[in-house]
Structure 1
Amino acid sequence: MEQGSIAEFLAEGRVAVARADEGAAAQWFAKAVAAAPDNPEGHVELGRCLNRQGNKLEAIRSMSRAVALDPDAHAALNRLRWLLCDKHLETPSALSRIQARGIEVASVLDVGASDGSWSLAARPYWPHAHCHLVEAFDHWREKLESLCAVEPGFSHVIAAAGASEGHIWFSNDPATPYGGMAISKPGGGYWSVPQVSLASEVKRLCLPPPYLIKLDTHGFERPILEGAADILAQTSLVVIETYFFHIHPDAMLFHEMCAYMAERGFRVIDMSEPLWREHDRALWQVDLFFVRSDRPEFLCKTYV
């Protein structure tokens, strides 16, 4: 091993970076890692250098080693989060790919709308579509009223979506307002809220097809889709937050959701927002994009 300290190797590497000599910098930082493999600083600098050279995979590995050595290594953590941020997995990218397929949408039915941010993200791809926001949690009422007052073609209802008109039991915590869960029977901590069906909302507002149905409803999808049965034939896209664990007594798991939608003439064409739970990194949820199963993409059986 070449004689020298990690401090010397790091200093030489930073000089090389200043000269824009990334090849030499990588060599010096590699020497720093070899001289002190348990020091996260060398791994951080090497990871940065590898990333500048376009070697993202090795950069991620180097930053991961730094974090493994020191979970509080903020430079490594921040860089690792940035490296792992794949724009292709974000909702706007998926919506862009869907829109590029020529899929038409005249009305968006955004269920579990919270503050309406999802419909705002979808608006650029179908700018003339009407967006109807369905939200059970009264916490969001003021924000939805303000949004619909300034956004042309936006409307909302404070109600849960379900199989029919009436009332349903619902629970949420103002401290975590993006959560919430509806159940069919009374339970501790749940209160009664109005319930509407998507088909009845379409009729009430005279919303034109084709429809985009988005469900962020934490396991209550089956009753909502039952209430949309009369409009599914005129629906071009369904986006469903789908889980890999039973978070709700009636929740459909990933494979069950795919089978359920296939029975109704839809297949998965895209995905976004995968989430891994923190304590064991198990895949927790993903947004699935379902389109009509008779679309031409499904006629091709090969990769190329």
Structure 2
Amino acid sequence: MTGVDQTTPDPARRYNVLLGGKDNFAADRESAAAIQKEFSSVAVAARENRAFMLRAVHHLAADRGIRQFLDIGVGMPMATNLHEVAQRVDPACRILYVDHEPMVAAHARALLTSTPEGKVAFAEADLRDPDTILDHARTGDTLDMNQPIALVLAAVLHFCTDQDDPYAAVRTLVDALPSGSYLVISHATFDPLPDDVRASLTALAAPGAGHGPFQARTRAQVATFFDGLDIEEPGIVSTVDWHPNREPRAEGEPHHAICYAAIGKRP
């Protein structure tokens, strides 16, 4: 596939490995195995993150009346996808998926199809360049920037180091959304882990370790992404503690999920 580097692990393809998918390469599987060796519950963390995202989307569509979703860092399409949940609530929902990985782009364009009443589109762009996303032709064609939008950043911000300034990127995106819009975030954390496991995972994320950029953040650091927003109950909690009895139900424990989750509303 043109433009795809099969020799270097990619976060989207590695996530596909952890979720039991087949759209990945040997480098992605080797990277996933190395992480799993240090933290055996990493596949649980991936599943719980996706379950949170699906619960959050259903909540926003069914309980908050949101009909537009901007999902950045979507990863490989895998059932069930965000647009399927939203369009089950209202077939007229409109969804724009964004990712910069060429293999994700190819699969998304082929597999992410909409209901006749709604719209599903894909834009190849990078979270670290938010202006490109906002100015992309697909954005204007798919989303009405005058109506509330849910910005979904599920398990993507921890692949942006502080050098990428993800706080500025999120602020740029949120500032472009109208009042009544929502920000959905899930973000990896080492807070629940013992010091030895934290040290091992930090070493895997170090430059030159071969697994790509990664930066877990504390609860306080995750909270900064929500500055100026009204955070919904139950607040910033583990993915397994965010309305765990809604479908798909949470099954793990915080020390397995190692991921914070929250929804904030723009006043």
**TM-score, with normalisation over the residues of structure 2?**
0.51
**What is the rounded CA distance, in whole Å, between the counterparts of 2:142 and 2:56 in structure 1?**
28
Deviation at 1:282? 5.5
Deviations 1:160-216 (A, max 9, x none): 123444xxxxxxxxxxxxxxxxxxxxxxxxxxxxxx234656863362221011113
**What is the rounded CA distance, in whole Å, between the counterparts of 2:68 and 2:56 in structure 1?**
18
- Equivalent residue, structure 1, for 2:93: 129
Deviations 1:34-66 (A, max 9, x none): xxxxxxxxxxxxxxxxxxxxxxxxxxxxxxxxx
Deviations 1:220-254 (A, max 9, x none): 34243133143244352221112223765666432
**What is the rounded CA distance, in whole Å, between the counterparts of 1:203 and 1:285 in structure 2?**
29
Relative distance call for 1:90 and 1:249 in structure 2 (3 A) is: closer
Relative distance call for 1:105 and 1:223 in structure 2 (3 A) is: same
Deviations 1:234-285 (A, max 9, x none): 3522211122237656664322222431x222314353668669xxx45511
1:132-147 aligned at under 5 Å gives the runs 132-147=96-111
Residue 73 of structure 2, aligned match among 108, 112, 116: 112
Describe the SS at the equivalent of 1:234.
coil
**What is the rounded CA distance, in whole Å, between the counterparts of 1:109 and 1:139 in structure 2?**
19
**What is the rounded CA distance, in whole Å, between the counterparts of 2:262 and 2:89 in structure 1?**
15
- Equivalent residue, structure 2, for 1:290: 263
**What is the rounded CA distance, in whole Å, between the counterparts of 1:93 and 1:226 in structure 2?**
24
Aligned length: 173
Mapped contact 2:95–2:143 kept (Cα < 8 A): no
1:253 aligns with 2:218: yes
- Equivalent residue, structure 2, for 1:240: 185
Describe the SS at the equivalent of 2:181.
strand
Q: Which has the higher strand share?
A: 1
**What is the rounded CA distance, in whole Å, between the counterparts of 2:105 and 2:90 in structure 1?**
25
1:168-179 aligned at under 5 Å gives the runs none
User: Structure 1 vs Structure 2: percent identity of aligned residues?
Assistant: 13
1:213 aligns with 2:151: yes
**What is the rounded CA distance, in whole Å, between the counterparts of 1:100 and 1:206 in structure 2?**
20
Describe the SS at the equivalent of 2:84.
helix
Which structure 2 residue ranges, 5 or more long, are not aligned? 1-43, 161-165, 191-201, 206-212, 235-241, 245-249
Describe the SS at the equivalent of 1:228.
helix
- Equivalent residue, structure 1, for 2:228: 264
CA RMSD of aligned residues (A): 3.7
Mapped contact 1:108–1:132 kept (Cα < 8 A): yes
Describe the SS at the equivalent of 2:183.
strand
1:60-71 aligned at under 5 Å gives the runs none
**What is the rounded CA distance, in whole Å, between the counterparts of 1:231 and 1:105 in structure 2?**
16
Relative distance call for 1:140 and 1:93 in structure 2 (3 A) is: closer
Residue 175 of structure 2, aligned match among 230, 236, 255: 230
Mapped contact 1:210–1:234 kept (Cα < 8 A): yes
Mapped contact 1:111–1:133 kept (Cα < 8 A): yes
Describe the SS at the equivalent of 2:258.
strand
2:264 partner letter: V
**What is the rounded CA distance, in whole Å, between the counterparts of 2:113 and 2:266 in structure 1?**
37
**TM-score, with normalisation over the residues of structure 1?**
0.46
1:292 partner letter: K
**What is the rounded CA distance, in whole Å, between the counterparts of 1:199 and 1:135 in structure 2?**
15
Describe the SS at the equivalent of 1:160.
coil
**What is the rounded CA distance, in whole Å, between the counterparts of 2:214 and 2:67 in structure 1?**
34
Q: Structure 1 stretch 248-257 or stretch 120-129: which is displaced more?
A: 248-257
**What is the rounded CA distance, in whole Å, between the counterparts of 1:267 and 1:290 in structure 2?**
6
